[in-house]
Amino acid sequence: MMHLSNERMDDEGTHTTTEGAPMTYNRMEAKPIAGEHCRFCGDASAPLVKTPCCQQWICCDTAFVSFRGGGRCQVEHERFSMCYSHYEDKHGGPWESCQQCRDFWSPRDYKTYAENPINWPKY
């Protein structure tokens, strides 16, 4: 698991930011975090959650019902990245070298998902 410099774990194993706010994977609990930004689009004012697959801050939609995810990076990462698919399928190691992922997807689909820029943080 990758830890970023602004994240810490307390004695009970709870992850928090350096400001002491609890880190969340739940989009309904997401809030903007002072000094943080989405690692995929760079938005510093959006509500943020951690990706469970690659442990990156990512912007998300906090609406209870959302058909498109508000155009936020979390929805794109969870629907169109090999990173999240690899995590959800509980494969080991990095997705970039996962033979199970290569065998599961058709060559065309693997190429489409693997080359999608939403696989890698940019900021």
Q: What is the pLDDT of residues 28-87, one digit of tens each?
A: 788 899 999 999 999 999 999 999 999 999 998 876 665 555 568 998 999 999 999 999
1-31 burial string, b = 16+ CB within 10 Å, else e? Answer: eeeeeebeeeeeeebebeeeeebbeebeebe
| pLDDT band at residue 116 using 50, 70 and 90 as cut-offs | very high
Tell me the whole-structure pTM to 2 decimals.
0.74
